[in-house]
Structure 1
Amino acid sequence: MIEQQTSLILSPYAELYDKLIPKDNFLRRINELVDFSFILEKLQDRYCRNNGRNAVHPIRMFKYLLLKQIYDVSDVDIVERSKTDLALKYFLDMAPEDDVINPSSLTKFRKLRIEPTKEEWDKGEGSLLDDLIQKTVEVAIEQGVIESKTIIVDATHTTSRYCAKSASEYLKEKAKLVRKTAYKFDASMKEKFPEKPTGSDINETREYCEKML
């Protein structure tokens, strides 16, 4: 069951955020300028509205996954880092002294709330996580948090695959979804599909997709 709203940060240590996290910090800016309420709209049908224990708020869970993408680390690593990194705790709407989640919670969240259902797979729908992150990036660009197609974190320029996806990458992604769906019905298809292209040449990728279909 989803809590009606995220809890306010009522902590005697909350002022640490203002003292230690600069106003121009990337995570601070994105947290203050991006309205994440669209997460609830996308996920509300995947939660029971009137029964069960309160779950960790879906916006916070999504933010954990977003941080994983930004810093390119594992579930365990991002949770461990959020124990001591105040910028991460601020972004996650946590008090400085709050306990973090168990990394296994991220696995359950992806499986139960994010991954496509069988019906969605059958319709050709892809990862909801990709859609949510792309929406976040779009809003961040609109708000001026991201000024180009590059996300700047810790002075390292990390090209966002949600803004700079080539035609070849896009086709490979969709081909992967087709293969996954086929494997669910017939595992022997793994031996029948053509060899995957290793390069980024669009003509090679297009030829592979045509053979696969």
Structure 2
Amino acid sequence: MFYKETHPNDEIILNTLSELVPKDHLLRKIDKSIDFNFIYEITSPYYSHTNGRNSLDPVVLFKLVFLKDIYGIKSMRETIKRVETDVAFRWFLNLPFSKPTPHYSTFSQNYIRRFQGTSVFEDIFNTIVHQAISHHLISGTALFTDSTHIKANANKNKFRNAVIEVVQERKRDLENEINAEREAIGKKPFHYTDKTISKTIKESTTDKESGYYHRDNKEKGFMYLDHRSVDGKHNFIVDCFMAQVRLHLDFCINSVIIFIMYPKFSMQIFCLKINAFINFLLMYR
């Protein structure tokens, strides 16, 4: 028999947020594995405890960023729009439908007025990584490292030519090996010195910290390098380093080796200077 539903959106539903979120939802698994309450202790020094109106819960503030990144949402404005209608998002944020969503500019204003220039983001990142290690989600036995270019907010046609002095790179391991061989046969070691050369670069007049990137068949412009190291067990990002395009991957990744501090691990590195990196790894094996 033909039937047409009328006004189904007017139905009154008596359910809790928890009942509406599927038991196997990704956010349930994240909430079970990661305790975000540590954020209160990290952010507490940056809030007033004696006067002023109540702020947005710091855990909610940083969970918004977490949701934005894990679901690949391009902006905080779009993230807030998703929170308005997504039951799982509201459950994860402990934000019932009876409460309004925060304004999309709340995070940016908190960053500008409270957290800019602090170690809050790095502390939160490191704590979550350590929690993942304690839950055996990170093994530390295989780390994969690479970098990608991120566009700077700078016009590629607005720049000035700057002359900088750089020290020409030396192969110190090779120099030491040569001198060791010479001393072994009774000859005097060579005396190597740093050689400084002048280099002309394009410097953005908008963002001086960015670097000009140019390679064949690649987009040219002012960019940054986003270096990331991923643990091979469950693809957790264990280290993130933003740098100028002039810095090489082998320079930027040293921090992750010291950070993990496992007795044995292997690393696959997409890097031209692999020999120097192998020697560095042997120092920390």
TM-score class normalised by the smaller sequence: 0.5 to 0.7
Alpha-carbon separation, structure 2, partners of 1:52 and 1:44: 15
Alpha-carbon separation, structure 1, partners of 2:109 and 2:125: 18
From 273, 277, 282, give the equivalent of 1:203. 273
Alpha-carbon separation, structure 2, partners of 1:104 and 1:189: 23
Alpha-carbon separation, structure 1, partners of 2:88 and 2:42: 26
1:66–1:133 Cα contact (<8 Å) kept: no
Cα gap change, 1:112 to 1:20, in 2 (>3 Å): same
Tell me which residue corresponds to 2:79.
78
- Code of the residue aligned with 1:97 in structure 2: it is S
Tell me which residue corresponds to 1:139.
131
Tell me which residue corresponds to 1:129.
121
Alpha-carbon separation, structure 1, partners of 2:83 and 2:37: 22
TM-score (norm 1): 0.57
1:34–1:143 Cα contact (<8 Å) kept: no
Higher strand fraction: Structure 1 or Structure 2? Answer: 2
Q: CA deviation at 1:101?
A: 0.5
After superposition, residues 141-160 of structure 1 pair within 5 angstroms as 142-143=134-135, 147=137
Q: CA deviation at 1:54?
A: 0.6
Q: CA deviation at 1:165?
A: 6.6
1:28–1:90 Cα contact (<8 Å) kept: no
1:89–1:95 Cα contact (<8 Å) kept: yes
Instruction: Name the SS for the 1:48 alignment partner.
Output: coil
- Code of the residue aligned with 2:57 in structure 1: it is H
Q: CA deviation at 1:164?
A: 6.2
Tell me which residue corresponds to 2:104.
103
2:43–2:120 Cα contact (<8 Å) kept: no
Tell me which residue corresponds to 1:17.
17
- Code of the residue aligned with 2:82 in structure 1: it is R
1:43–1:113 Cα contact (<8 Å) kept: no
Cα gap change, 1:142 to 1:52, in 2 (>3 Å): same
Gaps of 5+ in 1: 1-11, 118-126, 150-162, 174-186, 207-213
Listed one character per residue, the Cα deviations across residues 71-105 of structure 1 (whole Å, up to 9, x for unaligned) are 22211011110000010000101113321010010
Deviates more, 1:133-142 or 1:92-101: 133-142
Alpha-carbon separation, structure 2, partners of 1:17 and 1:142: 29
Higher helix fraction: Structure 1 or Structure 2? Answer: 1
The answer to whether residue 117 in structure 2 is matched with residue 116 in structure 1 is yes
TM-score (norm 2): 0.44
After superposition, residues 44-55 of structure 1 pair within 5 angstroms as 44-55=44-55
Tell me which residue corresponds to 2:62.
62
Larger relative contact order (Cα-Cα within 8 Å, sequence gap ≥ 6) = 1
2:42–2:123 Cα contact (<8 Å) kept: no
1:13–1:95 Cα contact (<8 Å) kept: no
Instruction: Name the SS for the 1:89 alignment partner.
Output: helix
Identity, % of aligned pairs? 27
